[in-house]
């Protein structure tokens, strides 16, 4: 079987040396080229990268690559294999022989629900509008979407590997919802950080799609290739929850 993980990259950096990965320059239509492959060829939405983040690479791969299993990772976050290194092709295919989907281990918000965390840290408008879109177009997903107000964990970061037919279904749903959301939310006056709401909403929609459809999956640990500023993340989280200070940048 053919298994490919497209690796969204927006700057020159060290890349995994394994045939599982295909580095793709994210937002290639907006920047000088530094990789052989960019998300600006064929059927693509490369110019939406400032809003959709790594999803422009997923869209490109979904529309232009022919694979049995297709996945997405980022240069600084990948699924982890043995020995604290990136998941290899052999490891991925061994797991995919048992289940059709690989996802990262859930991120847990012990003192927040997914809904309250989003509303404390960001403008809740896009999240509320997403619910209205689901009510109009995808009513079957509403019960799971409403569980965001109770759930405290999720498969985040848009890290995934899926069998192609399932990815077709997921991407069809995801990009239809985000495309409509983009039309309804006015970004005039937003900072670049605030305007990335489609990318953030997508992280919550993955489990909404997954749990509604009941697909089998395995979780894989996450490998971080850059230093995480846990103190800044933690203090930012607490200030948002208890002092009402919205996030202004990524940590």
How far apart, in whole angstroms, are the C-alpha atoms of residue 248 and residue 2?
Answer: 41
In the predicted structure, residue 161 carries a pLDDT above the cut 80:
yes
Q: What was the pLDDT predicted at 231?
A: 47
Q: What was the pLDDT predicted at 235?
A: 72
Query: Mean of the pLDDT values across residues 173-182?
Result: 98
**Predicted confidence (pLDDT) per residue in 181-197, tens digit:** 999 999 999 999 999 99
Residue 172, C-beta contacts closer than 8 angstroms, at least 6 positions apart:
none
Instruction: State the SS3 of the chain.
Output: CCEEEEEEECCCCCCCCCCCEEEEECCHHHCCCCCCCECCCCCCCHHHHHHHCCHHHHHHHHHHCCCCEEEEEECCEEEECCCCCECCHHHHHHHHCCCCEEEECCEECCCCCHHHHHHHHCCCHHHHHHHHHHHHHCHHHHHHHHHHHCCCEECCCCCEEEEHHHHHHHHHHHHHHHHHHHHHCCCCCCCCCHHHHHHHHHHHHHHHHHHHHCCCCEEECEEECCCCCHHHHHHHHHHHHHHCCCCCCCC
Query: How remote is the C-alpha of 109 from its chain's centroid?
Result: 17
Higher pLDDT, 62 or 228: 62
Query: Average per-residue pLDDT in the chain?
Result: 93
Query: Mean of the pLDDT values across residues 73-80?
Result: 95
In the predicted structure, residue 40 carries a pLDDT above the cut 90:
yes
Q: Quick check: pTM over 0.85?
A: yes
pLDDT confidence band for 126 (50 / 70 / 90): very high
For each of the domains in the chain, give its residue range(s) and CATH number, in order of start.
3-243 (3.90.550)
Residue owning tokens 């959709």: 52
pLDDT confidence band for 1 (50 / 70 / 90): confident
**Predicted confidence (pLDDT) per residue in 198-247, tens digit:** 999 999 999 999 999 999 999 999 999 877 665 465 676 566 666 676 66
In the predicted structure, residue 85 carries a pLDDT above the cut 80:
yes
């Amino acid at each position: 079987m053919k298994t490919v993980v497209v690796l969204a990259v927006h700057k020159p950096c060290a890349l995994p040396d394994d045939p599982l990965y295909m580095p793709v320059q994210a937002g290639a239509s907006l920047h000088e080229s530094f990789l052989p492959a960019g998300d600006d060829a064929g059927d693509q939405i490369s110019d939406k990268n400032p809003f959709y983040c790594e999803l422009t690479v997923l869209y490109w791969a979904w529309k232009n690559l022919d694979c049995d299993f297709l996945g997405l990772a980022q240069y600084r976050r990948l699924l982890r294999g043995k020995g604290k290194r990136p998941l290899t092709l052999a490891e991925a295919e061994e797991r995919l022989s048992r289940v059709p989907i690989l996802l990262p281990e859930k991120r847990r918000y012990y003192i927040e629900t997914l809904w309250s965390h989003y509303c404390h840290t960001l403008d809740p408008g896009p999240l509320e509008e997403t619910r209205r879109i689901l009510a109009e177009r995808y009513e079957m997903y509403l019960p799971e979407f409403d569980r965001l107000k109770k759930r405290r964990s999720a498969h985040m970061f848009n890290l995934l590997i899926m069998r192609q037919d399932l990815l077709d279904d997921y991407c069809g749903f995801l990009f239809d919802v985000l495309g409509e959301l983009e039309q309804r939310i006015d970004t005039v006056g937003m900072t670049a950080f605030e305007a990335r709401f489609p990318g953030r909403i997508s992280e919550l929609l993955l489990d909404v799609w997954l749990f509604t459809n009941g697909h089998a999956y395995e979780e894989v640990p996450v490998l971080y290739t850059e230093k995480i500023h846990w103190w800044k993340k933690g203090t930012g989280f607490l200030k948002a929850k208890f002092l009402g200070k919205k996030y202004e940048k990524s940590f």
